[in-house]
Every structure is written in structure tokens, then in C-alpha cells.
Amino acid sequence: MRQEQRLGRRAARSVVLCGLAATALAVGQAYCVAGVLSEALRGIGRDVGALLIGFAVLALLRAGLVYVSETAAFSAGAASRRRLRSDALTRLMSAGPALLRTRHSADLAGIVVDRVEAVDGLYSRWIPAATLAMAAPVPVLIAVFWADPFAGLVLLLCGLLVPVAMAAAGIGAAAASRRQFLAMSRLQARFLDRIRGISTIVLYGRAEDEANALAAAADELGRRTMRVLRVAFLSSAGLDIAAALSLVLLALRYATALLAGHLASPAMALFVLLLVPEFFGPLRSFAAAYQDRLHATGAAEELIDLPPLPEPAPQREIRTIAAQGLTVAFENVHLTWDPARGPALDGLSVRVPAGEALILAGPSGAGKSTALEILLGFARPDSGRVTLNGADIADLVPQALSRLTAWIGQRPVLFAGTIRDNIRFARPEATDDEIAEAAHAARVESFVRDLPDGLDTKVGEGGYGLSGGQAQRVAIARAFLKNAPLLLLDEPTAHLDPATEAEVLDSLRRLALGRTVILASHAAAAHAFGGRRVDIRDGRAVPARGAA
């Protein structure tokens, strides 16, 4: 928060200057209004046209300053959100999908969206308001002391009561805000989990129970939100009491003097009374923005918990890797996700010569997918190294590693759009002829010809509208189009019926020609893929007899 406030003060300078200028203009407006009202009360009828024109000019200038101030505050908030969101996304991308092993995706999405939005008020309202709360009352107080020193003393004492009241209310508001953020995060994660498992929930007849549970969680969030608002009202109540007290004291003073005939200048009395709201105006804005600071504090706690950015790697010699003939080697690789669960890889050493296939077999949790995640750049070994043609994978920039690698998993990642667009995702600059050739090689045409718009048929998010086998063929076509020398397959035939599994494996065999292939699977049919087989047990490679 201290770091962000230092950055925010630079961006808020124009807002603060506009606020100070607007306060000075308000003093001039009060002087003009006091002169007009004084002449009206006296009934002298002196020409007050100059005062009215002065008030109008000052009002227009003040309106322009308010517009410029609001625009500058919005720009400062928008720039800060862009910077924070870019920083958060950079941290998440550097951590990779491995972060999902310890953090819920709904929680991470909430941080990038809701928490960053919650920090907006820190820049656009709190920082300017905090500065103006100390600086803006000063010209008003000087004007009041010039008109009536006693009135200036009353305003000063009542103004000092406001920070005391806000500090008393702020302690409870900060705690309530943190609890409200926690309840919102839990509701987001719970809702996303239920949406993902909606079919299972319906099949087991638990839809009504889960709906009631979500309603209870939403009610809890509502109650915590109302607690934050109740505490916030206490802060504004303290300000209102201080403003009312000062106004009542000054009104009684001037009313008594007027009735006794001791009021020397009604215009000065009106001038002082009109400045009371202007004195407490910056403090009122400060009290209203105080909640923005509390929300930002709660959001900052979540942003701090994001993975740190990786330290810049020392300058290394530029390495190049041939696009054809890629040899992969794991050299005594150790990796532990959770110390309580033991190592995921415990000294894995295996080598895959260029153009050959390796089948990683073993039970679930043995470390097969972890080995693939290292090759994809989603995780780094705790010790040991992984090389491509002798170059350490840690020395490769992510873009280069991505160009060298094609990956097909259990469930293809398809997006809402056309089948053509989903294939083109592998290589956006590909021509329609190249896409058609890749679709033909993956036998996508076998089902596309029956669709109304062929390759331009639209599918839903996650491949909605396609069967599991059809979606897998689209993923294979994507790999054909990318034409990467390293092919990684993670249970590519899981959840497929035997007939579809055989067809998909046949397409994968053609895709594997001339490429280095690593297939992680425990399916019996996948072991007939061809190539050397290595069993993984407790994160170590156990050689097994390869298939011919």
C-alpha cells in the first residue's frame, strides 16, 4: 500500500491542484453571495450586479476545474488498474498452470478482476482526497480567521474531531472489509465448482440442496457487505456531528450578537457561515473515500500472495536448436509440488533420441504429467535439468519452446468459434489451404462433411456440439498445422470408446512420423502406439520392454 500510494501521489498532482484552485474559487463565491445577501437584508438596494457577475464567473471556472479534476482522477485510476492487472497476469503466466495445484481458478480470476477493480478507488478518490483533506481546508480557515478569529478557532477544533472519529470507525471497517472479501472469494469458488459439476449434481438429485447452499453463501456475503456499510456510516456520522456542531455554535454566536445589536458586519457573519460547508467539504470527501482505502487494503493482501516474478536470468550465450531431429533428455530431475506428499519426480533420467517415440506408463500420480509439464515450460525442476538437443530447457525463451512443441491432452482446449478458427489457433498466419490439408490429415473431414457449414460450423466453448472423438480430431489437426518437431501426448485417448480410440490412435501414428514423441498413458491400446516404453514409479524411470 505504501508503494502504491507513492506512485499514486504523482498521478494525483493535477487532481490536487484542481481541488485547491476550486476551494479558492469557493471562498470567492462565498464572499460574493454574502455581499448580495447582506445588501438584500439591509434593504438598501445598492447595485450588486458586479457581485452577481463575479459569482457566475467563479461558478463557471469552478465547474470547469471539477470536470478536469474528475477526468484526471478517472485517468489515474484506469492507468493504475492497467498496470496492476498487467503485473498480476504476468505473475500468473510466469507461474503457469502449475499454480492451479494450490489455488482455485475462481480465486485467481477474482484477484485479477475484482481485487484490481477494488484498488481503483485508492488512486481516483482516496489519494487525492487524503491530500486535499489536509490542504484544502487551509485557505478556508485563513479566510475565516481573517473575518472572525473566534469562528476560525471553532472550525479548527471541530475539524480536529473528524480524524479521531474516522480512526475509531476505521479499525472495525478494515476487519469487516477483509471478511467481506473472504466471503466473496468463497462464493466465487463454490459457484464455479457447482457449474463445472452440474451434470453430476443433477444425476445424484442434489440440485436443490446445492441451490440452497449457494443461496446461504450469497446471504452470508450480503450480511458481511451490510456490516461494512454500517461501519462506514459511523465514520460519516462523526463528520456530520462535527459540521453541525460548528454551524450551530457560530449561528448562535451571530444570532445573539445580531439581537443585541453588536453585530458589526452581517456580511462577514454570512461569509463565515457560508464557508462552514466548504471547510468540511474536503473532509467529507476524505471520509467517503476512506472506504476505498479499506477495500484497497483487503485487495492488496490478495495481490501480495500472488507468485513473485522470476528473477531475471543472467545473460547466457544464445543457443539455437535445429527444427528437425529433436532429442529430449531428463538428467536426474527432481521436483516436489508439496513436501507433505513427497516428490513428484525423484531423480528421473530418461533420453528420447530424435524421431523416436517414448511411452511413459505407470499409475496415476506417478509423475507422467509432471514430466510433460516441465517440457511445456509450466514447471521448473528443483534440481537436475531437461535438455533439447543438449540445450537446457531453462535457457530457451517461452516463445521458442512453444514453437518446438505440440501438445494434445485428455480434453482438447476448444474455444467458441468455428472449427476452422480452432484449427488456425496453432498457427494464425496459416492459409485456408493449409488448414484444409491439416483437417484432411487428421480425418476431420469424416464428420465435417455432414455439418451444415463444414469447417465454418460454429462450436461452443469447450467444443460444445462435438463428440469427444471429434474434438480430439480437431486437436490433432491443430498439431498437424503447427508441425512442431516435439509431440507431447497426455492420455489422448482417455474417455473414448474403443472404436473411436482406435481411429484417434491411427491419426496420432501418422502425426508422429518424423517427430520426437512422448506419450503418457496407462491405456492398453495406447501401449500399442509403438516405441520404447518406460514405467514411472514414485517419480523414477523403470525400464520396460519396448513395443516394436
**pLDDT per residue as tens digits for the range 418-454:** 999 999 998 889 898 999 999 888 888 888 888 888 8
Q: Where are the alpha helices (DSSP H) in 261-357?
A: 266-304
Collapsing DSSP to helix, strand or coil, 350 comes out as strand
Contact 378, 300 (CB under 8 A): no
Give whole-number Cα distances, 378 to 92, 93, 101, 331, 538, in Å.
11, 9, 12, 18, 20
Question: 547, 381 in Cβ contact below 8 A?
Answer: no
What's the one-letter identity of residue 309? L
Considering the chain, tell me which residue range(s) the CATH 3.40.50.300 domain(s) occupy: 328-543
Q: Name the residue type at position 395.
A: D
The pLDDT value recorded for residue 270 is: 87
Residue 137 identity: P
Q: Which residues in the chain land under pLDDT 50? A: 316, 318, 323, 545-548
- Per-residue pLDDT at 96: 67
Distance CA 362, CA 517 (A): 17
Cell numbers 508439496 correspond to what residue?
Answer: 338
| Residue-level pLDDT at 98 | 64
The C-alpha torsion from 76 through 77 and 78 to 83, rounded to 10°, is 90
According to the model, what pLDDT value does residue 546 have? 45
- Determine the topology of domain 328-543 in CATH: Rossmann fold (3.40.50)
Instruction: Give Cα 215 to chain centroid, integer Å.
Output: 25
| Residue 120 · residue 81 · CB < 8 Å | yes
C-alpha cell of residue 103: 489455488
**Torsion angle (degrees, nearest 10) of CA 478, 484, 506, 491:** -80
User: Where does the chain hold its CATH 1.20.1560.10 domain(s)?
Assistant: 2-175+229-304
Q: What is the predicted pLDDT for the residue at 2? A: 73
pLDDT at 123: 78
Query: Which ranges constitute the DSSP H helices of 137-197?
Result: 137-147, 149-196
How many other C-beta atoms lie within 10 A of the C-beta of residue 384?
A: 16
> C-alpha grid cell for residue 524?
492398453
Of the candidates 480, 475, 513, which has an alpha carbon nearest to the alpha carbon of residue 491?
475
Which three three-digit cell numbers place residue 477? 489437426
pLDDT of residue 547: 42
- Tell me the C-alpha to C-alpha distance, in Å, between residue 387 and each of 352, 360, 496: 10, 18, 33
DSSP 8-state secondary structure symbol assigned to residue 218: H
Q: Which CATH superfamily is domain 2-175+229-304 in?
A: ABC transporter type 1, transmembrane domain (1.20.1560.10)
Half-sphere exposure at residue 346, Cβ-oriented, CA atoms within 13 angstroms: 13
Q: Which residue has the cell 460519516?
A: 236
Q: From the CB of residue 377, how many other CB atoms can be counted at a distance below 10 Å?
A: 18
Instruction: For the full predicted model, state whether its pTM sits above 0.75.
Output: no
Tens of pLDDT, residue by residue over 471-524, are 888 999 999 998 888 999 888 877 777 888 888 888 888 888 888 888 887 766
CA distances for 150 relative to 144, 156, 246, 255, 312, angstroms: 9, 10, 11, 15, 62
Please tell me the predicted confidence (pLDDT) of residue 172.
Answer: 60
